[in-house]
Amino acid sequence: EVQLVESGGGLVQPGGSLRLSCAASGFIFSNYWMSWVRQAPGKGLEWVANIKQDGSERYCVDSVKGRFTISRDNAKNSLFLQMNSLRGEDTAVYYCARHLSSGLDYWGQGTLVTVSS
């Protein structure tokens, strides 16, 4: 059974940092593109970043460029999102998800990040 489990969310002050993790199981992690998607309270879904199977290509949305970094450890079946210089508008539930071509076919349950003083 495919499972994605996020962790690392919490309350952080503006300007602070957090590292989100996503533990994958039930599939060959190294065979898939992976993504992070977020949903701010009362808002729609927003694609944050994605990464190729071997980590050689990474892309992110303009609003997080220079602040967030997506990475992966295929040996540990894990996906990461390093978030620096956090802002109030980064407050959201963050999901990791697996790609099925252009779609995301499996999602974690999400981890809440709250940026507030």
Partner 1 sequence: QSALTQPASVSGSPGQSITISCTGTSSDIGTYNYVSWYQHHPGKAPKLMIYDVNNRPSGVSDRFSGSKSGNTASLTISGLQAEDETDYYCSSLTSRTLTYVFGTGTKVTVL
Tokens coding 62: 């303009």
62 binds partner 1 (CB under 8 A): yes
104 binds partner 1 (CB under 8 A): yes
Candidates 108, 111, 113, 115: give the one binding partner 1 (CB under 8 A).
108
Candidates 2, 5, 11, 100: give the one binding partner 1 (CB under 8 A).
100
Nearest alpha-carbon partner for 64 in 41, 94, 42: 94
31 binds partner 1 (CB under 8 A): no
Candidates 53, 78, 82, 107: give the one binding partner 1 (CB under 8 A).
107
Task: Please give the Cα distance from 62 to 49 (Å, whole number).
Answer: 10
Tell the smallest beta-carbon distance from residue 97 to partner 1 (Å).
Answer: 8
Residue 100 CA, distance from chain mean position: 16
Which strand ranges, in their side-by-side order, compose the sheet holding 3-7?
A: 3-7, 18-25, 78-83, 68-73
89 binds partner 1 (CB under 8 A): no
Angle, CA of 27, 33 and 35, to the nearest 5°: 105
Catalog residues that contact partner 1 under the rule CB under 8 A. 35, 37, 44-47, 49-50, 59-62, 95, 100-105, 107-110
